[in-house]
């Protein structure tokens, strides 16, 4: 599935939160590849910065906040480098 179609599914409020979060994680695959990271590294970075885990967002607001942060990293082409514990 393309990033664009997964993005549309994330933003579709008629879908369940779990379904939308699944599509957000699919988008994370695309973004991570652009940034030279694994999906797990990107999700951990987003969790560190926002306090929101894309694996289990508690609400639609959390999902959208974390997703928007991830999208901004992709749009800026930011090279993220951080130490893994």
> pLDDT-based confidence at 82, cuts 50/70/90?
very low
Instruction: Provide, for the chain, the percentages of residues in helix, strand and coil under a 3-state DSSP scheme, each rounded to the nearest 5.
Output: 65, 0, 35
Express each pLDDT in 32-67 by its tens digit.
988 888 999 999 999 999 999 999 999 999 999 999
DSSP state of 56: S
What pTM did the predictor assign?
A: 0.83
Chain centre distance of CA 55: 9
**C-alpha separations of 10 from 33, 34, 84 in Å:** 19, 19, 28
* Structural contact between residues 36 and 30, judged by C-beta atoms closer than 8 angstroms: no
What Rg value do the Cα atoms of the chain yield, rounded?
A: 12
pLDDT at 76 over 60: yes
pLDDT at 83 over 60: no
């Amino acid at each position: 599935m393309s990033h664009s179609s997964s993005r549309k599914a994330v933003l579709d409020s008629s879908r369940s939160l779990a379904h939308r979060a699944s599509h957000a994680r699919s988008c994370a695959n695309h973004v991570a590849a652009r940034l030279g990271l694994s999906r797990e590294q990107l999700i951990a970075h987003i969790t560190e910065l926002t306090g929101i885990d894309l694996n289990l967002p508690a609400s639609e607001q959390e999902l959208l906040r974390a997703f928007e942060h991830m999208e901004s990293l992709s749009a800026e082409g930011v090279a993220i480098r951080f130490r893994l514990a």
